Amino acid sequence: MLDIIYYFNIFGCLTMGMALLLIQTAPQLINPHYRNAKRFLGIASIIVALCNALILYNRVQESVADIFAMPVLVAAQLQAALFTFIVLILFHSPYVCRRNILRHLCPTLFFVGLYLLTILLFPDVRIYSVDEYIANITNPVLLLRTVFAATYLTQIVIYVRLFRREQRNYIAKIENYFSDTDKYEFRWASRLFYEAACIGIAVLVFSIFPAPLFDGIITVVITVYYFDFGVRYINYQYKLYYEALPAIEEKEESQPAKESEGDKELEDEMAKLLLYLQQGVVLGDYAEALHIPERKLSVFINSTYGVSFKRWVNNKRVEYAIEQMAKHPDYTMERIAELSGFAHKSHFCKIFREITGGSFTEYKNR
């Protein structure tokens, strides 16, 4: 049964790897980071298939790996780094550079080198139970593998913290350019990252309690995960992202701007525009209407109102909603929400409470 599972994994990873490598990226997707990530993921899928084929060929007993098996830990560490950086490309591609990748892989490279040196001096024991582990705990190679396992767990925690930081910074940036950020938050990528972290922890548990059942389950889960990740990366609508977020990747340098208008005049002109009532309005719509660069307008909103563009739009929408409530007390919440530029009543209620401190009904009954 375990052999069948391994064949399934090999076939699945090979198929997905070839798909990632052979399916051409649309011509308009000119960001090289995404293309390189897709190729890297395809190559990694093929490598995983080949590694599993090698394990299957050399398997000498029912349990594929012993406790804290070095090949398992190294493969898990490399896959953790792979999925972390491939997802980070979507949120902050400049961070994914050779220097940062090597810095995070330094512990793995160090332990691999030390392991190769240690097994020349001491026997590399293979154990399959906790009792055997305790009996051989003084073995230097086993101690090294144990420390590497602890380092691997620490590295997963570091990757999670790194991802959360970059995701937080990314969302803070897009709030300066979009009124509705839901479709730009890459929630599917966030879900896949946390799934990868959970799989990484499951692999560590398997390396402590090796068993054919655990091995089969984890192999199936990893195969399905590679399929899911690969399909989503292939179907990724990068054109929308690239065309909608040019300002996020731009340099922080000052751009030539129209200097004839003072801040007060700009504020007055913004007040006259009702673009915030349009669903999905972006900073570029205001910049085009006011004939100024997006960067200057973003800085103006931040400095004048002390909020992001998204927050400013929500404030204006809630102000407009309150005005409509006073003018038309017979209007329903759905009608007020629609007039104010909100696509969903639930979102309107959430933003209304967040800004006013009370619910729509409470405010209306005052």
pLDDT in tens, 167-199: 888 887 776 666 666 666 678 888 889 998 999
Per-residue CA distances from 51 to 56, 57, 213, 223 (Å): 9, 10, 19, 13
- Per-residue pLDDT band at 31 (split at 50, 70, 90): low
pLDDT at 25 over 70: no
What average pLDDT does the segment 40-61 reach?
69
- Phi and psi at 363, nearest 5°, equal -70, -40
Spatial distance between the Cα atoms of 37 and 185, rounded to a whole number of angstroms: 19
Q: Which helix (H) or strand (E) holds 294?
A: helix 294-305
Q: Which of 267, 259, 279, 266 is nearest to 343 (CA)?
A: 279
Spatial distance between the Cα atoms of 297 and 176, rounded to a whole number of angstroms: 10
Q: How far is CA 59 from the centre of its chain?
A: 35
pLDDT at 254 over 50: no
The predicted pLDDT at position 162 comes to: 92
- Encoded tokens for 179: 């009124």
The predicted pLDDT at position 155 comes to: 94
Task: Give 61 or 266, the one with higher predicted confidence.
Answer: 266
pTM over 0.85: no
Q: CATH topology for 2-244?
A: Rhopdopsin 7-helix transmembrane proteins (1.20.1070)
pLDDT tens figures, 147-171:
999 999 999 999 999 999 988 888 8
Spatial distance between the Cα atoms of 201 and 272, rounded to a whole number of angstroms: 55
Domains of the chain, by residue range, sit at 2-244, 263-364
Task: Give 56 or 46, the one with higher predicted confidence.
Answer: 46
53-67, 111-125, 341-355 — which one is most confidently predicted on average?
Answer: 111-125
pLDDT tens figures, 319-330:
888 888 888 888
pLDDT above 70 as % of the chain: 78
pLDDT tens figures, 259-296:
444 577 777 788 778 888 888 787 788 888 888 888 78
Cβ neighbours of residue 366 under 8 Å, at least 6 residues apart? Answer: none
Count other C-beta atoms under 10 Å from residue 283's C-beta: 24
Is the separation of the CB atoms in 128 and 63 below 8 Å?
A: yes
Could you tell me which residues are beta bridge partners of residue 282? 178
The predicted pLDDT at position 184 comes to: 63
pLDDT tens figures, 212-221:
777 778 878 8
The predicted pLDDT at position 58 comes to: 61
- Phi and psi at 262, nearest 5°, equal -80, 170
Q: CATH topology for 263-364?
A: Arc Repressor Mutant, subunit A (1.10.10)
Q: Which of 153, 151, 235, 251 is nearest to 188 (CA)?
A: 235
The predicted pLDDT at position 239 comes to: 47
What average pLDDT does the segment 301-314 reach?
80
Count other C-beta atoms under 10 Å from residue 301's C-beta: 23
Amino acid at 29: L
What average pLDDT does the segment 12-17 reach?
76
Spatial distance between the Cα atoms of 321 and 338, rounded to a whole number of angstroms: 9
Spatial distance between the Cα atoms of 155 and 160, rounded to a whole number of angstroms: 9
Q: Name the burial class of residue 134, with classes exposed (0-12), middle (13-18) and buried (19+) by CB atoms within 10 angstroms of its CB.
A: exposed
The predicted pLDDT at position 148 comes to: 94
4-8, 131-135, 266-270, 357-361 — which one is most confidently predicted on average?
Answer: 131-135
pLDDT at 14 over 70: yes
pLDDT at 33 over 70: no
Mean pLDDT of the chain: 77
Spatial distance between the Cα atoms of 42 and 224, rounded to a whole number of angstroms: 15
Cβ neighbours of residue 151 under 8 Å, at least 6 residues apart? Answer: 107, 111
